[in-house]
Amino acid sequence: MSQLNPKRNLLAALGLSLLLGFSVSCKDDDGNDNVVKERNITLDSKQEIPTVMNRNEKGNANLKLMKDSSLSFNLSVSNFDGTDQLTMAHIHTGSPVESGPPIITLVDNSKTKFQGTSASGTVKLNASQYAAVKDGGNFYVNVHSTKLPLGLVRGELDKEVLFAQNVDLTPMTNTLRPETGTAILRMTKDSTLHYKVSVNNLTTGDILTAAQINVGKTGIVGPVVIPLYTGSADYNTAKSLKLTSSQANFLQNMEVYVSVNSQQVANELLRGQIR
């Protein structure tokens, strides 16, 4: 029987180790090493602006930003109304309470189309588009349909929205007043409230003052729990506020409403019930 050669065995082991290491390295180079940033985004009809009525679709967007400045994506929509048809999808610029223009086309309904309720593909990005996906900020994914061309489901690129509601504001103290309004509210996972309050047809000579969220059932005037605006210059401006745990609880679980005051109607010119 021949004896084992320790030196030969050591060289063989080293060779095998190098071969295995090379194989693993190649696999990594072909896989996740090429991914600069991956985002998984929850899409929801409740986040849309304007409000999507009588629809309850949800969805998911998986985005992978690659080293070669390409962006691969997979989109899917669930609970879809079969009488509608998905058309296009984009990444838009805009804060959580604003609608902005598209900056990246994902699905153009020409070269890339939805197959039923899903779509996938790859797009090449320029430098500014690459930075938007990589760094995040005020950008969102928006999926459009035939019946809802402005947007069916939406999701922020780097913010997880826990609460989303668009509140219609109507005259309360004097129902003959011509004003109407809207309060767009979004609270993210870090308890930051993003909001924008707008008022239309303000009576000539009147000046808007404060806007806030109050505690109270429908028709009951209650105390302020979350201040929003302090003067006329604030209106129609997107702002954000870090909420306390108590304020976040009020917004998510209690009977609360948005109220708008003016110089002529200091006690609730407009009001809209959140819950």
List the CATH number of the domain containing 64: 2.60.40
160 φ/ψ sector (left φ>0, alpha ψ -120 to 50, else beta): beta
Instruction: Give me the sheet containing 118-124, strands edge to edge.
Output: 102-107, 86-93, 139-145, 153-156, 35-44, 58-66, 70-78, 118-124
Q: Are residues 237 and 259 in the same domain?
A: yes
Query: Same domain, yes or no, for 105 and 133?
Result: yes
pLDDT of 242-260, one tens digit each?
Answer: 999 999 999 999 999 999 9
pTM of the model: 0.85
Domain boundary among 90, 121, 156: 156
Higher pLDDT, 19 or 272: 272
Work out the burial of residue 136: count CB atoms within 10 Å of its CB; fewer than 13 is exposed, 13-18 middle, 19 or more buried: middle
State how far the Cα of 226 lies from the Cα of 195, in Å rounded to an integer.
Answer: 11
Of the candidates 167, 164, 194, the one whose C-alpha atom is nearest the C-alpha of residue 180 is 167
Q: Which residues pair with 241 in a beta bridge?
A: 193
201 and 181 Cβ atoms separated by less than 8 Å:
no
d(CA 47, CA 52): 9
What does pLDDT average to over the chain?
90
Instruction: Please check whether residue 78 lies inside any domain of the structure.
Output: yes
Show which of 156, 178, 198 is a domain's final residue.
156
Domain boundary among 156, 182, 200: 156
Same domain, yes or no: 134 and 179: no
Overall average pLDDT of the 37-56 stretch: 96
The encoded tokens of residue 120 equal 């996938």
Do 111 and 173 lie in one domain? The reply is no
Q: Which residue has the tokens 């610029």?
A: 93
